[in-house]
């Protein structure tokens, strides 16, 4: 822990988010490599790792209560002008529960491994995610090799050489997925389907297969109950299918769009560099290739500060509700270090227009070739 700051991250104060602390508190050391990564980690006080059991359970039950309230609204109306905002809110409430499950998978929600496991499994049911495959794919691959060429599989940019080896259909799919309309389809095809259909041999796969079975059974029960409600309310099997679509499938699909955009904005922008294995290190991946974005309109009620992503990549043990304080702690010592801004769909649209293919030798994004 850095001796320049208090052990209590709540005690770090200065005038406004944009005003930096006095120069005496600011480190002037150049940061790079393992030493730089360690220095950033040391700036985070011990209290930012506090994760009392009651708090994690409170978020879990609160998020399910909000989710069921939104589902009730969807169940009792078929008016399009009500369905549209309720569908959007349902994707947000699925996101809330998914983020709770995400932290459980990192072991940051509770000290108890078993409590993390069971809360995480149930929190991920509305998003139709397999808990253990998320642990493997997200924790080990994405966090282990963030923004590293041929290693991080999430929003991994294609090179000009990759593009040259693709056929017309593959290029068309890639163009769509990397457009502002394609985030959900990218996430479904490149992340979700791979995690749901995990078939690697070994002891890890046994855990994944067990959770695949759990998700299948939980989803069957979940959809069955909702289908029976639909059958009762509409008096037809079509009504049962429509109710399952309204309360399960459409919210989950829209959630895929939410998480696709969120993860894109975490690690993709014209200012963020990806690296090959010879140039990559943890500081470049976890700090320099990661963003902190503030959410507008009180959306952190649903998204649990997930856009404050640098401290999460510095140490996954920090629970989501302590991420704002961890950001303040890092800024207190290294005020100009992190990529920061405000989450904006306009920026997302702008990034998707500029970030197409990547030249790893030059460290820059390049447009599609004029032919092809």
> Residue 12's pLDDT is what?
39
- Average the pLDDT over 66-74 and give the result: 98
Q: What is the pLDDT of residues 159-180, one digit of tens each?
A: 999 999 999 999 999 999 999 9
- Look at residue 196 and tell me whether its pLDDT is greater than 70: yes
pLDDT per residue over 277-302, tens digit each? Answer: 999 999 999 999 999 999 999 999 99
Determine the pLDDT at residue 35. Answer: 67
pLDDT at residue 195 in the model: 84
Mean pLDDT, rounded, for 293-315: 96
The predicted pLDDT at position 205 comes to: 77
Task: Give the pLDDT mean for 357-368.
Answer: 96
CA separation, residue 223 to residues 218, 243, 260, 305 (Å): 8, 9, 24, 30
Question: Looking at residue 215, what is its pLDDT?
Answer: 96
Say how far residue 18 (Cα) sits from the centre of its chain: 26
The per-residue pLDDT for range 209-229, each reduced to its tens digit, is 899 999 999 999 999 999 999
Tell me, what's the pLDDT at 10? 43
208 and 130 Cβ atoms separated by less than 8 Å: yes
**Could you state, in order of their start, the residue ranges of all structural domains in the chain?**
17-366
Q: Is 308 exposed, middle or buried (0-12, 13-18, 19+ CB in 10 A)?
A: buried
- The helix (run of H) or strand (run of E) holding residue 175 is helix 168-177
Q: What is the mean pLDDT of residues 32-53?
A: 89
Judged against a pLDDT cut of 90, whether residue 8 lies above it is answered with no
- The three-class DSSP label of residue 366 is strand
Q: For residue 370, what pLDDT is reported?
A: 83
- Asked if the model's pLDDT at residue 305 lies above 70, the reply is yes
Band of pLDDT at residue 258, cut at 50, 70 and 90: very high
pLDDT single digits (tens) 100-145: 999 999 999 999 999 999 999 999 999 999 999 999 889 988 999 9
Residue 11 has pLDDT above 70, yes or no: no
- Cα–Cα dist 117/334, whole Å: 35
Please give the pLDDT value at position 9: 45
At 148 the three-state DSSP class reads strand
Instruction: Output the pTM of the full model.
Output: 0.90
Residue-level pLDDT at 203: 62
Q: What is the pLDDT of residue 200?
A: 64
d(CA 262, CA 127): 15
Mean pLDDT value of segment 307-328: 97
Average pLDDT over residues 70-83: 98
| Dihedral, CA of residue 49, residue 53, residue 56 and residue 58, to nearest 10 | -140
- Cβ-proximal residues to 313 (8 Å cutoff; 6+ apart), any chain: 143, 146, 285, 286, 287, 290
Report the pLDDT value the prediction gives residue 5, as an integer from 0 to 100: 39
Tell me the per-residue pLDDT of 341-354, one tens digit each, with 9 for 90 and over.
Answer: 999 999 999 999 99
Rounded Cα distance between 112 and 62, Å, is 20
> Is the CB of residue 27 less than 8 Å from the CB of residue 21?
no
CB distance 125 to 196 below 8 Å: no
| Residue 340: strand, helix, or coil | strand
């Amino acid at each position: 822990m850095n001796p320049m700051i208090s052990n209590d991250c709540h005690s770090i104060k200065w005038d406004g988010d944009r005003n930096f602390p006095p120069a005496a508190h600011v480190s002037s050391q150049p940061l790079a490599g393992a030493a730089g990564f360690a220095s950033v980690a040391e700036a985070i006080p011990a209290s930012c790792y506090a994760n009392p059991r009651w708090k994690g359970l409170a978020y879990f039950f609160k998020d399910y209560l909000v989710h069921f309230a939104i589902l009730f609204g969807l169940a009792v109306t078929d008016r399009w002008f009500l369905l549209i905002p309720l569908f959007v809110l349902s994707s947000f409430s699925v996101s809330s529960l998914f983020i709770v499950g995400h932290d459980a998978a990192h072991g940051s929600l509770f000290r108890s491994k078993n409590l993390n496991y069971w809360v995480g499994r149930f929190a991920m049911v509305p998003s139709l995610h397999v808990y253990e495959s998320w642990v493997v794919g997200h924790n080990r691959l994405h966090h282990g090799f963030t923004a590293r060429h041929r290693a991080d599989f999430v929003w991994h940019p294609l090179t000009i050489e990759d593009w040259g080896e693709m056929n017309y259909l593959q290029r068309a799919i890639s163009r769509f997925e990397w457009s502002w309309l394609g985030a959900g389809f990218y996430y479904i095809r490149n992340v979700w389907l791979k995690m749901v259909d995990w078939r690697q041999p070994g002891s890890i796969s046994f855990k994944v297969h067990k959770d695949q079975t759990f998700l299948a059974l939980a989803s069957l029960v979940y959809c069955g109950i909702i289908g029976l409600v639909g059958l009762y309310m509409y008096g037809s099997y079509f009504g049962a299918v429509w109710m399952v679509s309204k309360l399960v499938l459409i919210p989950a699909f829209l959630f895929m769009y939410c998480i696709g955009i969120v993860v894109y904005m975490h690690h993709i922008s014209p200012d963020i560099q990806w690296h090959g294995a010879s140039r990559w290190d943890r500081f470049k991946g976890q700090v320099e290739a990661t963003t902190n974005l503030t959410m507008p309109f009180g959306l952190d009620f649903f998204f649990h500060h997930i856009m404050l992503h640098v401290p999460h990549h510095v140490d996954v043990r920090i629970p989501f509700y302590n991420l704002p304080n961890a950001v303040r702690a890092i800024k207190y010592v290294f005020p100009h270090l992190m990529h920061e801004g405000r989450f904006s769909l306009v920026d997302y649209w702008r990034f998707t227009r500029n970030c197409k293919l990547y030249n790893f030798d030059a460290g820059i994004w390049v447009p599609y070739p004029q032919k092809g």
